[in-house]
Chain A
Amino acid sequence: MSPWQNFIKGFIKENPVFVLVLGTCPTLAVTTSVANAIGMGLSTTFVLVTSNIAIAALKDFIPDKVRIPCFIVVIASFVTIVDLVMAGFFQVIHSQLGIFIPLIVVNCIVLGRAEAYAAKNSLLPSAIDGLSMGLGFTFALLILSTVREALGEGSFLGHKFIHSDGILFFILAPGAFIVFGYVIAIINRLNRCKK
């Protein structure tokens, strides 16, 4: 796989949210607004890239039997870094995302890529893979949050373009599930049409 193909796969073909259906918890929780979605997406991308690099670099030194706990410690360390940096420099987003920042450590995408890719490939491809999956994740969050914020508040990134109340349903929990379900259904349909 060429580096470009490696990079582009996370957006459509192997999109972690819509195709692999991983990382669904933060997807539903933070897509109430586009700003939160971008914040979460970029934080997860940072953790993905750094932990993929670290694990690809350390893979020859980690005994096979304890590899999962080792991966988890590596990932948890980078998540702690992200958490502290956000608490220091991006307090608003930090308080909006709340508990989902430390929960990046159990985001199935991160451990999944570490296990499936970084543990078997060298540094640069692993870094590109992490970037691809992270940006693909951000892309998916962007789509969902645009829909939810537009319908629920009539705004985008906080700027209202419909100057009245939105449909509250889309900001609340049920709306999250249903929008997500229909977006996957639409993508399934589009994928089948291509073939």
Chain B
Amino acid sequence: MEYVLMIISAVLVNNIVLTQFLGICPFLGVSKRLSTALGMGGGVVFVMTLSTIITYLIQTYILVPFKIEFMQTIIYILVIAALVQMVEIMLKKVSPALYQALGVYLPLITTNCTILGVAILVVRKEFNLIESTVFAISNSVGFTFALIIFAGIRERLELLEIPKAMKGIPLALVLAGLLSLAFMGFSGIVH
């Protein structure tokens, strides 16, 4: 039951982009078209889940027993960078169509603060492996969810007349603020 609460919390109540402020750069950069948003979201789900599992295992079985927790930042980011590289190579061979669709966004996932953020968060929140995996999947789904809504609205906004100073990033930020405000309506579902 608590897994359901965790999923609802991660996707709606504490949405990773709209309340935790992780993943803003790709959020603003990739969300102009619905198709790219979906591609980015899919990539993030895959990389985040896999990297959280692997970094969790490294933390539990290597960093803590050998008392080298201070190496966390360095090891984690290396694992994530290596993972993204591997995913890119695998995807090229297994599904060239999907690789083409994701294009340049796949390497951008490495510097996505969501991936590193969630990997570190599961350690700070002291989850076990299953909880960490559920947390990772639901947060990445939450990211994709917010991204899709955002992209859908931005596609419509393209058709309107916007004051010059507000064009582009300022409007996107105000829009994100309103979306974040709307999501605040979900607070209190999980107590």
- Interface residues of A, Cβ cutoff 8 Å to B: 21-22, 24-26, 28-29, 68-69, 72-73, 76-77, 79-80, 83-84, 99, 102-103, 105-108, 111, 172-178, 180-182, 184-186, 188-189, 192
Contacts and interface: CB of A to CB of B under 8 A. Distances in A.
Contacts of A189: 165
Interface string B17-29: 0111111110010
B111 A111 contact: yes
Contacts of A177: 173-174, 176-177, 180
A99 B120 contact: yes
Given A106-B111, A106-B116, A79 B180 contact: no
Nearest to B107: A68
A181 B179 CA distance: 14
Nearest to A175: B177
13 contacts: A21-B169, A28-B24, A72-B77, A76-B73, A76-B78, A102-B116, A105-B77, A111-B111, A178-B173, A178-B178, A181-B172, A181-B176, A182-B170
A155 B137 CA distance: 40
A128 to B, nearest CB: 24
Given A108-B25, A108-B111, A184-B173, A192 B164 contact: yes
Interface of B: 18-25, 28, 70-74, 77-78, 81-82, 110-113, 116-117, 120-121, 124, 163-166, 169-174, 176-178, 180-181, 184
A181 B71 CA distance: 36
Contacts of B22: 25, 103
B176 A69 contact: no
B106 to A, nearest CB: 14
A181 B21 contact: no
A107 B25 CA distance: 10
Q: Which of A76, A80, A174, A192 has the most CB of B within 10 A?
A: A174
A192 B173 CA distance: 20
B92 to A, nearest CB: 17
Contacts of B180: 173-174, 177
Contact of B73 (A80, A178, A185): A80
8 smallest beta-carbon distances between A and B, as pairs: A181-B173, A177-B177, A178-B177, A185-B170, A174-B181, A29-B21, A76-B74, A181-B174
A185 B81 contact: no
Interface centre among A107, A184, A186 (most CB of B within 10 A): A184
Contact of B184 (A69, A111, A172): A172
Contact of B25 (A24, A73, A182, A188): A24
B120 A102 contact: yes
Contact of B177 (A73, A108, A174, A186): A174
Given A25-B113, A102-B120, A180 B164 contact: no
Contact of B117 (A69, A99, A176, A185): A99
Nearest to B23: A25
Nearest to B176: A177
